[in-house]
A = this chain, B = another copy of it.
Amino acid sequence: MNGKLYGIGVGPGDPELLTLKAKRILEQVEVLLVPKSKMEKRSIALEIAKGAVDKDWQQVDLHMPMTADKAELIKSWQQAAKQIANILQEGKDAAFVTLGDPSLYSTFTYVMKHIKALAPEALIEIVPGISSINLMAATYQVPLAESEESVVIIPALKDKESLEQTINQFDNVVLLKAGNQIQKLSDILAELGQEKDFYYASRCGFADSYYTEDITELLDRKLDYLSTIIIKKKK
Contacts and interface: CB of A to CB of B under 8 A. Distances in A.
The interface residues of chain A, by DSSP majority, are classed as mixed
Interface residues of A, number: 52
A23 B17 CA distance: 10
Interface string A206-233: 0000000000000000000000000000
Contacts of A145: 103-105, 153, 155
A54 to B, nearest CB: 14
B106 A143 contact: yes
Given A17-B19, A103-B143, 5 more contacts: A17-B21, A103-B144, A105-B143, A147-B155, A149-B155
Interface of A: 7, 9, 11, 14-21, 23-24, 52, 101-106, 109-110, 112, 124, 126-131, 134-135, 137-139, 141-156, 170
